[in-house]
Chain A
């Protein structure tokens, strides 16, 4: 474990990703402490370009973009984390059971998983979002989590299947350990790295899903998130005003955060998957 960590720290991709994330994290924690205003407050005329008063200018409501970014990124990350946790947990449970048990259980769960992979989860996401009127950040995160688990489930199942017939597992089975114990002690540790990577991907995709849904106006109500900022900017004809400061910063932030997660993931992948090590 420690050696893995050590190798990770030396991987340039991993470190760049972590540093990038850290910068954002620091931003969303520190900036609101400096600027304690309400991000929803209208502080100036609409679509003001960046100035000393508003470092990133104002949006179509007359709100300070930088402050909105700090709060919005926080919301987006929260959604990402919660949905990532849900998706990974659900995917993990289904994947392991399906992979370990095999037989009918496997057939059913696999088919179920495949069905939900093929039917665009995004469509389901939209439809469910439209039907629920008042949405909080948590509800959105839960919906995203419950519609994106199939990917993890499939991956985990594949890993479990390959582990199922390893010697140490068979040994444990012969020794009479019950299923749960075997799964927890014999299988889980080996796929841990995989699970962590899956979580990171789910996190990133959770952020993206939230941004997509919010862009359509179906996001959480009465909060700010990066997707919601983009949505309003487009609705209020920001391109017509050349108001790049309302579009580019949130868009870039989404991209950069996702980018950093991918980097971290790639870094980890190179460690745990020796055949790819360059």
Chain B
């Protein structure tokens, strides 16, 4: 167990370091955007013509958003507020708080991406392993299709899906999170509507993932199947089913790492998909915030996204550490 502890500790520290850098980037980068957000609030107050009043309003807002202090000082205040869980006030939806905005957007994103990515990953791996094992017909059909499908970035696929199935065949609705006629409520009608609107974005992400994972898994599985221990086991007469289990387990490892590595890209791609379908998640919110130079909201969104990716990576690394016996032995070796 000591060995595990060392492994996790090392990983933990590294992740915290990454977190700090991520926070700094999250803070500084949006503020590099040209333009003064207070001006954007003020430009809405057309009725206020008097320059003096404008100046006063300008000062009030600047102070409220802490924009009059030097940047490093703002960063410290930001960190302090962060520990209290206060992500600030949104500028474009003034006076709504960033937390409130994110709270209404986050469930949609998580509800979309989590099942889509997991589903895609699992199905893709199963399909890939299957294709690798059976070879023959399955391999010749599934493989090229998967390869083609995986070349599509999520949002490109979603555009095609949107057009072909949405407009042409009118199978599913093409935008939004739910029927605009309904108010969010815990009832069947609402859920039915949510699922209908969820289908397209879900499919866009899941199908492409299946393709990608399928290929990777097939490669890994082939690699394993050709390796010595499999051949040896076959000679030894070990049952096929058991061999497959071993193969699968070994092939899974790089897939898990792969998942961790590409999580960032996948989340980003899924966010654009949200945009294509006007899905009311974090993606749409963030892009609207960028359009409106809403620093606190931009930082809030990027923070959530980064945190999510970091967290998932961390979990994956832990999982990996538990699953992969080589890690354990490496730790044993070191000590």
Contacts and interface: CB of A to CB of B under 8 A. Distances in A.
Contact of A216 (B150, B153, B219, B275): B275
A114 interface: yes
Given A114-B14, A117-B261, A131-B32, A263 B159 contact: no
B34 A251 contact: no
A275 B223 contact: yes
Given A258-B151, A259-B151, A262-B150, A120 B160 contact: no
A254 B154 CA distance: 12
Interface residues of A, number: 44
Contacts of A92: none
A162 interface: no
A117 B160 CA distance: 29
Majority secondary structure of chain B interface residues (helix, strand, loop or mixed)? helix
A207 to B, nearest CB: 9
Contact of B159 (A111, A234, A258): A234
A119 B18 contact: yes
B265 interface: yes
B276 A259 contact: no
Contacts of B269: 122, 212
A122 B167 contact: no
Contacts of A119: 18, 21-22, 25, 264, 306, 309-310
Given A111-B14, A239-B167, A124 B29 contact: yes
A120 B305 contact: yes
A123 B302 contact: yes
Nearest to B276: A234
Interface string B144-184: 00011011110111011011001110000010000000000
Contacts of B298: 127
Interface string A67-104: 00000000000000000000000000000000000000
* Chain A, interface SS category: helix
B155 A118 contact: no
A111 B21 CA distance: 11
Contact of B272 (A121, A216, A240, A278): A216
B313 interface: yes
B264 A248 contact: no
B83 interface: no
A230 interface: yes
Nearest to A246: B163
Given A124-B29, A247-B163, A278 B152 contact: no
Contacts of B167: 239-240, 242
A255 B204 CA distance: 14
A117 B309 CA distance: 10
B264 A128 contact: no
A247 B166 CA distance: 13
B130 to A, nearest CB: 16
A239 B153 contact: no
A133 interface: yes
Given A127-B30, A242-B167, A244-B163, A121 B156 contact: no
Given A212-B272, A215-B272, A131 B147 contact: no
19 contacts: A115-B17, A118-B309, A119-B22, A120-B305, A120-B309, A121-B264, A121-B265, A122-B265, A124-B29, A131-B34, A211-B156, A216-B275, A230-B156, A239-B163, A242-B168, A247-B160, A251-B152, A259-B148, A276-B222
Given A234-B159, A252-B160, A258-B151, 9 more contacts: A114-B14, A119-B18, A120-B265, A121-B265, A128-B29, A130-B33, A239-B163, A239-B166, A275-B223
Interchain residue pairs A-B with the least CB separation, the first 3: A122-B268, A259-B151, A120-B264
